[in-house]
Amino acid sequence: MITAMNPTTGETLEKYEEPSPDEIMQRLEKAHQAFRAWRQTRFSERAELMRKVSRALTENQSEYARTMALEMGKPIAAGRAEIEKCVWVCDYYAEHAEKMLQPEIIKTDARKSFVTFNPLGVILAIMPWNYPFWQVFRHAAPGLMAGNGVILKHASNVPGCAVAIEDIFKKAGFPEYLFQNFLISSKRVDDLIEHPTITAATLTGSTTAGRAVAEKAGKMLKKTLLELGGSDPYLILEDADLDKTVEACVTSRLLNSGQSCISAKRFVVVEAVRRQFEQMLVDQMQAKRMGDPLDEAVEIGPQARFDLRDDLHQQVINSITQGAVCLLGGEIPEDPGAFYPATVLGNVGKGMPAYEEEIFGPVAAVIPVKNEKEAIQVANDSSFGLGAAVFTRDTERGERIAANHLEAGNCFVNAFVKSDPRLPFGGIKESGYGRELSHYGLKEFVNIKTVYIQ
């Protein structure tokens, strides 16, 4: 049984029956049949249907935002923004996929030689709860436009979102069984990976989950793409414009109530501006309103689950015990709901959870450093490598650091890290491998085939 619970009230929203093993096997076979027909369709047909999906998202934007607010606590305004981004990715691939996947002519000693990009098959998408629409669409839009089928195994606490997404594709006119939502528990994922219909898998989630999926898929010799956790460092150099810098840092740290892989998490601040940065950070974090995610004015909703809130608090307590200084927040509110306040920890150092681990909530960790060299060393002193940012008035300096010295898949200068359909997105180290979005993401799940004609 899959149960949706409201993290704001603790009330059960709805329960869903899991499909039986026989039903899953039958649906997988039908997915394969649907894919075999879909791969023969013209790009213009695929694009037309994808644009219908885009229109459906726009027309039902408020409804979907409300579903996210109820199931995982996303503030309603942020939910609408998430749907707008889904519209963007659908329209982007509807417009550009055909050109991106055109055969590539390569001159060799053959009479003719070229590379084609053929669909790979039915892809298993194991998706998280924190961006329950965007994470699915950023895979499904390019995947379907490339000619693949999609099996969605969504996070168990957002089943209503998963059902709604499948309904969008059905009503838009996509072939039956081409995009399917399987409401199953995580322990049944191995069975899906083993099935011959599934040709590859993509997962966005924790490093632990990524290791498990990669291990199972590796035994089956099936490709995987993993977008895992992050502990993004933001380097604040002595010449940073602090007004703009702090605004970007607070926006990033509190995205999705702090529950984002690419949120700013470790603020690596040169000592010359540390005290001023800390005070401005505390002031702006403290000004953000926490409360019912259905309230338009709320900027911080509850954490998605009570256990996640409690784990977050323990990381904060353990960091303080080891020497961090709590400058703001750090206490669980007495009000009902899985809420955690905006929190700022100063004097964070090596060995503390706030330094070593991913902090998945509205907690900012300030790490003091002496200079640029030490800032780069601390930024890279992490098992993660998803995003990073550097703030400096010298943009050439920032570009040099971002391009050549920061160990992450997405490095920004004077701006917070975000994903964009036009740019590749992904990480290194324990943040995963492979790339989503742009033409790189479109080509992750295709057969890059050499054709040689003498």
| Integer CA distances (angstroms), 342 to 248, 333, 348, 373, in order | 15, 11, 16, 30
Joined tokens for residue 376: 């780069």
Of the candidates 90, 161, 249, 261, the residue annotated as catalytic is 261
Name the pairing type of β-strands 179-181 and 149-153. parallel
Examine the residue annotation and report whether 326 is marked as an active-site residue of this protein: no
Who contacts 75 (Cβ-Cβ below 8 Å, separation ≥6)?
Answer: 69, 257, 293, 295, 298, 299, 300, 301
Examine the residue annotation and report whether 261 is marked as an active-site residue of this protein: yes
Task: Convert 325-336 to b/e letters by CB count within 10 Å (16 or more is b).
Answer: ebbbbbeeeeee
3-class secondary-structure state, position 60: coil
Q: Which residue has the tokens 């199953």?
A: 184
Who contacts 452 (Cβ-Cβ below 8 Å, separation ≥6)?
Answer: 108, 110, 112, 113
Of the candidates 227, 278, 299, 436, the residue annotated as catalytic is 227
| Integer CA distances (angstroms), 198 to 193, 220, 309, 396, in order | 6, 10, 35, 46
Burial of 277 from C-beta contacts in 10 A (0-12 / 13-18 / 19+)? buried
Length of the chain: 454
Contacts 24+ apart (CB under 8 A), 316-323: 316/343, 316/345, 316/353, 316/354, 316/363, 318/352, 318/353, 319/345, 319/348, 319/352, 319/353, 319/354, 319/355, 319/365, 320/345, 322/349, 322/351, 322/352, 323/347, 323/349, 323/352
Beta-strand runs (E) in 73-197: 104-105, 112-119, 122-126, 149-153, 179-181
The Cα 14–Cα 16 span in angstroms is: 7
The Cα 39–Cα 54 span in angstroms is: 21
Joined tokens for residue 407: 């160990």
Who contacts 53 (Cβ-Cβ below 8 Å, separation ≥6)?
Answer: 90, 141, 168, 169, 172, 174
Phi and psi, residue 315, nearest 5° = -65, -40
Q: Cβ of 202: how many Cβ atoms within 10 Å?
A: 26
Q: Which residue has the tokens 């998706």?
A: 127
The residues carrying an active-site annotation are: 227, 261
